[in-house]
Structure formats: structure tokens, C-alpha cells
Amino acid sequence: MNTVDLRRTIEQEIDSYVYQRHPAAVGTPLPQEWVTRQLAEMRSALVDPVLRPIEIRDSVAQLRGQAPAVVRECFLVADDKEGYELYFDPASNDFVLAYSGNPPSTFNVRGDAVGCFMAR
């Protein structure tokens, strides 16, 4: 995994992100100011990607503590310094949000980098 390319890909995703509300969504759309602020916060939270072991707790049983977490090496790509870290998981080729900790622990928020970061 080329970490320079990984960071560049994330920066391009931030630059090209367009908030789209699904036509069947219920509720009030998020204001553009909120989206703009989230993108700025994400850009500020980016770090040079580094491999770290994280606990994968993506199943209901794992989240409830009824099944053991799987420890896997993932690339830390963003840290909001408020308790959330964003990782790239090369095993599943997607991004995953995790609670900060030693080790960090996921909670089944996966997908694109911007969407995961905004789910904090």
C-alpha cells in the first residue's frame, strides 16, 4: 500500500465531495454550512497514514461483547482528537471509523472516507 497515494485519494475525495440527500430520506437535510465545516474538520484531522493494530467490532455479537474482536492492521488516516479515528482497512478495501483507544475499536461504521468521518 502506497501511503502517499492513499492520502492523495482521501484529499481528492474531500475536494470533490457533494452532499446528496436521498429522495426517500425522512427529515430535514443537513445544512451546507455543516457539510462545509465537516469537510474542513476532516482535512485538519488528516495524518500521514500509518499502520496500527485495531479491534474490529463490527458484528452485533462483537459490539455486545458476546464474541471476541478481531485484531487487524489498518492505516490510521485521520484523528479528530475528540475520540474518533478514521482508518483504511486494506483487508476489506474500505474505511472504518473507530473509537480512539489502545487499541482503537471499530463499531460498524464503514464505507467511503468522508461518509465515515461525518458519522462521528
- Domain borders along the chain are 3-118
pLDDT digits (tens, 9 = 90+) for 68-114: 889 999 999 999 999 999 999 999 999 999 999 999 999 999 999 99
pLDDT score at 2: 94
**What's the grid cell of residue 57?**
467490532
The pTM score is 0.91
HSE-up (13 A, CA, CB side) for residue 11:
11
pLDDT for position 31 = 94
- The answer to whether 13 and 93 are in contact (CB under 8 A) is no
Q: Give the whole-angstrom CA distance, residue 116 versus residue 87.
A: 9
Give tens-digit pLDDT for 25-79.
Answer: 899 999 999 999 999 999 999 999 999 999 999 888 887 888 888 999 999 999 9
